[in-house]
Amino acid sequence: MATSRAALAYLESRKNLAGMVGGLAGVGLALGGLAGAFWPVVVAGLYAAGALIAPPERTPPPEFDPSEQLGAVREDFARLREYLAEVELPPAAGGKLAELMELYARLLDPGWVADVLAGEPESVHVLSRAVRSDVPESVDTYNRARWWSRLQPGAVPPERHLERQLGLLFDEAERLTAGLQDREARRQQTHTTYLEERGRS
């Protein structure tokens, strides 16, 4: 089955089509009496030459649907919320985490904001990394460090690191949101410019 598919693919390939053109030229030479008794060699040679000079087939890169990628991040975000619901955090860190999760939720909420986000692969990557790696790692390392801090009192409290990490993630999320807002503002300005130029003409 795979062999027949490969054969069919070759029959439709550029190399075969170019070879066929060369082979037909060889047949034309033979019919014109220019190939002599060696016409089969001429036809085969021109076919081979055509096949060799034809550009190779290009395998197209896979196409990824941004909305599907965002849907996967949305599912992971739901799992992250379930995990965080089971974790105890100090009040300051818990408040900062709640703000951060609310901002993520607004970005991922299905609608036009998510559509804008889906059109920005780098923003999707930043949000995906935060949801799948940064937030879980921050909370998990806090829980581990909290246990060790009981054995070594006097060190920097682990909640201070957690608060700092969550603050940095919140700043990153705000920058991401501002970038999306700027994109929409540029889009609006472009439309205004287009309408102004159309009015002049």
What string of pLDDT tens digits covers the 201 residues of the chain? Answer: 556 776 666 666 777 777 778 878 878 777 777 767 777 777 788 788 877 777 776 677 766 666 678 889 999 999 999 999 999 999 999 999 999 999 999 999 988 888 888 888 889 999 999 999 999 999 999 988 887 766 666 667 889 999 999 999 999 999 999 998 998 899 899 999 999 988 887
What is the rounded CA–CA span in Å between residue 87 and residue 91?
12
Residues 27 and 101 in one domain: no
Number of domains in the chain: 2
What is the rounded CA–CA span in Å between residue 152 and residue 150?
6
Q: Which domain holds residue 39?
A: 2-53
Residues 124 and 170 in one domain: yes
Contact status, residue 19 vs residue 50, Cβ threshold 8 Å: yes
Residues 18 and 101 in one domain: no
Residues 138 and 190 in one domain: yes
User: Does any domain span residue 58?
Assistant: no
